Chain A
Amino acid sequence: MDHFDELLRERARREPFPLPEDYAQRVQDTCAALEDRPPARRRSFRHWGGWLAAALALFVAVPNVSPAAAAAMAEIPVLGSLVEIVTFHRYAYDDGHSSADVTVPELSGGQAAQAVSDEVQAYTDRLLEEFQAQQETVGEGYQGLYVTSSVVTDTPEWFTLRIDATQTQASGYDFSRFYHIDKTTDETVVLADLFQEDADYAQVLSGEVQAQMASQTAADPAVMYFPEQLAIPADQSFYWNETGDLVLVFDEYAVAPGSMGMPEFTIPREVYAPLLRTP
């Protein structure tokens, strides 16, 4: 702990903090007005038959966001594009100890959009099931599950939906999934689909990522990676950035300590262009 850190603690302790004049009285009045009766028992997962029951009974399905609101949130794409978010389903749970807030987008616009919707629903269902199962063992601790989504790319040819999740228990864990749709073919796409069938794209991309890791660690001693853990699977997370560059994304802890967050590496086009299926 450095001097400034200690100074902040000391000043926070020492300096008077302004409270509204009526605040203490309002707290007191609120406490006095609490009804002195036993609270509702905390609901248990144990007696519930299956996930569907749990989903209906425990996870309070907040009324779905209206299509109009969904449109605003998704920033509905320009005319001529095929894929859009039509609604969100939200699952929320909070017992004051553990909490979950999972928002699941639903797409429309073709077979690929339906396939992505189904995949996202299955994925978030699995996360919620894990949360539910963990509730049995969480004991005195907390756990949290937060899932949000965003549209990363929406052009006449391409649509990318990003699902971000944070699981919190003993420590936090951030991870993401990317779902891509080639609008020109109405097909879902994973990283491997970008490249020719016989192309060793994994080795080429791994080499570039490892080179960038080495460069960053040489430039900044605070930066740390685990290059030996690097793997590029067929469904490796990626997106196209604003300038059209390929960006590879790794979950927290996958290739670096947690302090590095979720590392991203932008791959120069010349590195992979010869391997592309459609140059």
Chain B
Amino acid sequence: MLDKEAFCAQVMAHQDAMFRTAKAILRRDEDAEDAVQEAICAAYAARSALRDPERFKPWILRILTNKCYDACRRQRPTVDLDLVREYLPAPEPDHVENLALWQAVMTLSGDLRITVTLYYYDGLSIREISRILGISEAAVKTRLSRGRERLRRLLREE
């Protein structure tokens, strides 16, 4: 089992991926930071369940995504423009010529956004993503395909 020092070293090593994952789901920096903080505490309390430290990254990202979805559920009673936007067509950015990839990713719908982030930014496999998000591998592939096509249009790549 990881001791505190080893656990914290792992967290530091993956803190960028954690923030990116939370941001992809929650959109707002403040909410993402809160979710990361909650996930660190929850993961530390449950660290005896992690039998293979090599699997730390997908393990803590799954805990983090659960925290993010919990936060989404808590937020639902209030009408938040960001959440409403989830159900609306993504706005086309004004300047597509030099659009940063992350800007383009953030225009995707929530399901596509998190899947694309885990795959392209964090280098996770389709199987790992299916386990993190609790969806089938076929669903991951479908989301990736849709996300890729939308990014292709946004970034004007053929």
Binding site for B on A (CB under 8 A): 4-5, 7-9, 11-12, 15, 17-20, 22-24, 26-28, 30-32, 34, 36, 38-42, 94-97, 99, 101, 140, 142, 144, 146, 166, 168, 170-174, 252, 258-261
Give the docked Cα–Cα distance between A259 and B138 (Å).
Answer: 5
Give the docked Cα–Cα distance between A28 and B127 (Å).
Answer: 31
CB-based A-B contact count at 8 angstroms: 143
* B contact residues, total (Cβ < 8 Å): 55
Partner of A41, one of B3, B37, B48, B151: B48
Instruction: Among B3, B8, B140, find the residue whose CB has the most chain A CB atoms closer than 10 A.
Output: B8
Residue B72 CB within 8 A of the other chain: no
Instruction: Among B1, B46, B55, find the residue whose CB has the most chain A CB atoms closer than 10 A.
Output: B46
Partner of A17, one of B7, B11, B20, B47: B20
Give the docked Cα–Cα distance between A270 and B89 (Å).
Answer: 37
> Contact: B50 with A27, CB < 8 Å?
no
Partner of A23, one of B33, B66, B135, B157: B33
Q: How far is the CB of A175 from chain B (nearest CB, A)?
A: 10
> Contact: B19 with A172, CB < 8 Å?
no
Binding site for A on B (CB under 8 A): 1, 3-4, 7-8, 11-12, 15-16, 19-20, 29, 33, 36-37, 40-52, 55, 59, 62-63, 66, 100-102, 120-121, 123, 127, 130-131, 134-142, 148, 151-152, 157
Instruction: Among A4, A94, A99, A172, find the residue whose CB has the most chain B CB atoms closer than 10 A.
Output: A172
> Contact: A172 with B135, CB < 8 Å?
yes
> Contact: B50 with A8, CB < 8 Å?
no
> Contact: B50 with A97, CB < 8 Å?
yes
Residue of A nearest to B149 (CB): A4
Q: How far is the CB of A12 from chain B (nearest CB, A)?
A: 4
Contact A96 to B40, CB < 8 A, known contacts A17-B16, A144-B131, A171-B136: no
> Contact: A172 with B20, CB < 8 Å?
no
Partner of B136, one of A9, A26, A258: A258
29 contacting pairs across A/B (C-beta < 8 A): A8-B151, A12-B101, A12-B121, A15-B100, A17-B20, A17-B121, A26-B37, A27-B40, A30-B37, A31-B8, A34-B4, A34-B44, A38-B1, A38-B48, A39-B47, A40-B48, A94-B63, A95-B46, A96-B47, A97-B49, A97-B59, A101-B134, A140-B52, A144-B131, A166-B136, A174-B139, A258-B136, A258-B138, A259-B138
